[in-house]
Amino acid sequence: MSAKETDPPHIQTVAARLIHWATLQPDREAYIFLSPRIGRSTLTRRNAKDMAFTFAERLTSLGLRHGDVVCNTLQNSPERVVTDLGIMTSGCVMVDKRAFLRDVSDMVHVLTKSEARLVIVDPGEKNENEFPSAWEAIRSQCSVIGVVDTATYSVTVTWPDVTSLQRVMFCPRGDSGTEFEFLNTLKTSQRPEASPKENGTLTEKKTLVLPSDLAALFPTSGSTGLSKLSAFTQASVLDIADNWQHLFKLQDDDVIFQDRPVGWVAAFHHSYLASGTPRVMTDGRTQVPESCPDSVWSFIAQEGVTFAHLTPQTVSKLLSRPDLIGKHNVTLRGLLMTGQPIKKHMAQTIGTLTRRMYNSYGATEIAYLTAGRFEKESDFDDFLVGFPHPRAQIRVVDDNLQPVGPGVTGEVLLRCQGQFEGYRGDEEKTKKTLLPGGWVRTDDLGLVDDRGRLFMFGRQSDAIMRGVVIIYPYAIEKSLARIPGVQDVMVVAVPDPELFHEICACVVVSPGSGVTAESLKKSCSEMNAQWHFDLPTVKYFLLFDAFPTTGTGKASRKLLQAEACTTLGLQP
């Protein structure tokens, strides 16, 4: 909606926002899902609200209470939207977990840290590369008690490693994928309206959901490879949605294409909750990759999309396809790219794909913080992410956390309305990240120039930013260390012109082992099933007699990275 029609300040729960938008234009499309295989499906504002409230009642009927955590493993789909919104409407807490290691250790970590009582799964999900689906992963570890309750589509389970977990809920479709079996069960009851109150939202059962209640746990991309869970209240979920609107100012006639997983904080339900903007995405249950430029651009043209949030990799593929661009007479009003530092050549999207290019910076703990709006290629500089929104502050500090002046690179600290409450189950990490005065440490390097613009250069930590994916060295190192003849291994990032970083495995081999770079590459490929299914293969393998060390004798990843760049002829 336009600025004059945005929500009044007192609407500070998700349920109240759903009621607000459904009351204004109940039959307007809120979410549009597209698939070459099953076509087009939609949720209107009324659908989203009614089914979310009905699903909330279903959770209550299972004995779930305010503050109980529900883990949602569904891919982008109408079912994912309804269950997300229903979890928060009920007063429960949503946590996302959609990607799995074969040994299920990451799943155990999230469920244990969050103390999840219920997991929502797609029983028919089939992952690429034969990796287990959420249900397959859980079923391999837990015991099922009794039979599926047909009223709630759930079953009781026990899992010794996850003592909090009590039930698994199934979210099925028909065999063809076109029959929305689960959603149809939520359409059967007509519900009276819930009334938004000044300090909360009352359901028919008179259960008050307060703005201060927890609503969501968003997994971070931690440098250890095991996510921290950033906790957000009902009010802060809406604050970060409103911050989105402050930055991008979507209008009443805008339609957004945003195909990143909705369980990520950067792609959550911000645009709908803040401005009621219709959101277009591919139906993730049909395995249509967002990175396919043909599907992306045809969907954008088909739905009259005016604002698109795409990865830099997808944009690069589109720019390389003038035939595809010419096929559809589309010029976006706005194109947002996030997930990695953006370089100047990406500004050629202006006038080609869009009238305005946006680059934004944020973090899981704070969501969107800045935006740069560029209408000419000459307006953009490498790594520029723009100005903070009005409710945000930025501070750049040195190694002693002391502020530095304009133009000086340091660690970026953030503070804004709507930031996280802390890490669930990690008080020590919360204290390290959330500083006195409410400042959030990011572990990101950047600078603020004399105009107040923020430039971001990447992570300080060992994590490798390859495109929009954060790669964790420990997973690769652990796998390579199993190869006979490997004495030591460290994985570092090396520069790449398109992906920002590529992966380089540095290996010390035992004398006489016969291990070569080619044999490592072959072994690595054979062991790929033990890695995260999104983890790309290692591009470079380098052999060393020994790793460089610090003054204390500890192997230095920073010095090793410099040596790797020199050996490969790359400029760090």
CATH code assigned at 29: 3.40.50.12780
Task: Report, as an integer, the average pLDDT of 406-434.
Answer: 95
Flag whether pLDDT at 298 surpasses 80: yes
Distance of alpha carbon 518 from alpha carbon 511, whole angstroms: 17
Specify the higher pLDDT residue, 457 or 156. Answer: 156
Residue 532 shares a structural domain with residue 487: yes
pLDDT of residue 198: 38
Task: Report, as an integer, the average pLDDT of 158-184.
Answer: 85
At which residue do the structure tokens 């990865």 appear?
311
Q: Do residues 503 and 476 make contact, with C-beta atoms less than 8 angstroms apart?
A: yes
Specify the higher pLDDT residue, 317 or 19. Answer: 19
Distance of alpha carbon 170 from alpha carbon 207, whole angstroms: 26
Q: Of 222, 113, 215, 218, which Cα lies nearest the Cα of 442?
A: 222
pLDDT of residue 225: 54
Domain final residue, candidates 427, 459, 491:
459
Flag whether pLDDT at 202 surpasses 50: no
Phi, psi of 312 (to 5 degrees): -60, -30
Give domain status of residue 418, yes or no: yes
The total of other beta-carbon atoms located within 10 Å of residue 515's CB is 20
Residue 123 shares a structural domain with residue 225: yes
Structure tokens at 111: 């469920």
Domain final residue, candidates 232, 260, 288:
288
pLDDT of residue 100: 63
Give domain status of residue 300, yes or no: no
Q: Do residues 167 and 147 make contact, with C-beta atoms less than 8 angstroms apart?
A: no
Q: Do residues 251 and 268 make contact, with C-beta atoms less than 8 angstroms apart?
A: no
Residue 162 shares a structural domain with residue 270: yes
Residue 93 shares a structural domain with residue 225: yes
Confidence of residue 535 (pLDDT cuts 50, 70, 90): very low
Residue 67 shares a structural domain with residue 146: yes
pLDDT of residue 333: 97
Specify the higher pLDDT residue, 231 or 188. Answer: 231
Flag whether pLDDT at 84 surpasses 70: yes
Least confident of 156-170, 460-474, 485-499: 460-474
Distances (CA, A) of 317 to 294, 324, 326, 360, 463: 10, 10, 14, 20, 25
pLDDT of residue 112: 96
CA 442, distance to chain mean position in Å, is: 16
pLDDT digits (tens, 9 = 90+) for 2-52: 334 444 445 689 999 999 999 999 999 999 999 877 789 999 999 999 999
Give domain status of residue 297, yes or no: no
Phi, psi of 2 (to 5 degrees): -70, 170
Phi, psi of 71 (to 5 degrees): -90, 120
pLDDT digits (tens, 9 = 90+) for 126-137: 655 455 688 888
pLDDT of residue 8: 41
Specify the higher pLDDT residue, 225 or 556. Answer: 556
Flag whether pLDDT at 163 surpasses 90: yes
Residue 492 shares a structural domain with residue 385: no
Residue 340 shares a structural domain with residue 235: no
pLDDT of residue 165: 97
Sequential DSSP letters for 513-567: ----HHHHHHHHHHTGGGS-TTPPPPSEEEEESS--B-TTS-B-HHHHHHHHHHH
Distance of alpha carbon 440 from alpha carbon 418, whole angstroms: 12
Q: Please tell me the number of Cα atoms within 13 Å of 537 on its side-chain side.
A: 13
Residue 107 shares a structural domain with residue 158: yes
pLDDT digits (tens, 9 = 90+) for 348-371: 999 999 999 999 999 999 999 999
pLDDT of residue 177: 55
Structure tokens at 298: 């045809």
pLDDT digits (tens, 9 = 90+) for 249-269: 999 999 999 988 899 899 999
Give domain status of residue 3, yes or no: no
What's the domain count of the chain?
3
Residue 469 shares a structural domain with residue 541: yes
Least confident of 151-160, 173-182, 325-334, 553-562: 173-182
pLDDT of residue 532: 45
Residue 352 shares a structural domain with residue 481: no
Task: Report, as an integer, the average pLDDT of 227-251.
Answer: 95
Domain final residue, candidates 407, 424, 459:
459
pLDDT of residue 42: 96
Give domain status of residue 534, yes or no: yes
Give domain status of residue 501, yes or no: yes
Flag whether pLDDT at 414 surpasses 60: yes
pLDDT of residue 466: 87
Confidence of residue 316 (pLDDT cuts 50, 70, 90): confident
Least confident of 275-279, 340-344, 362-366: 340-344
Residue 94 shares a structural domain with residue 17: yes
What ranges in 140-189 are assigned the alpha helix state H? 181-184
Structure tokens at 427: 């008080």
Query: Three-state SS for 14?
Result: helix
Give domain status of residue 299, yes or no: no
| Average predicted confidence (pLDDT) for the chain | 86
Flag whether pLDDT at 527 surpasses 80: no
| pTM, entire model | 0.81
Give domain status of residue 2, yes or no: no
pLDDT digits (tens, 9 = 90+) for 217-233: 999 864 445 789 999 99
Least confident of 126-130, 246-250, 465-469: 126-130
Flag whether pLDDT at 244 surpasses 90: yes
pLDDT of residue 530: 53
Q: Of 558, 555, 485, which Cα lies nearest the Cα of 522?
A: 485
Distance of alpha carbon 335 from alpha carbon 374, whole angstroms: 10
Residue 468 shares a structural domain with residue 454: no
Flag whether pLDDT at 193 surpasses 60: no
- Domain of residue 520, residue span: 464-568
Distance of alpha carbon 145 from alpha carbon 157, whole angstroms: 6
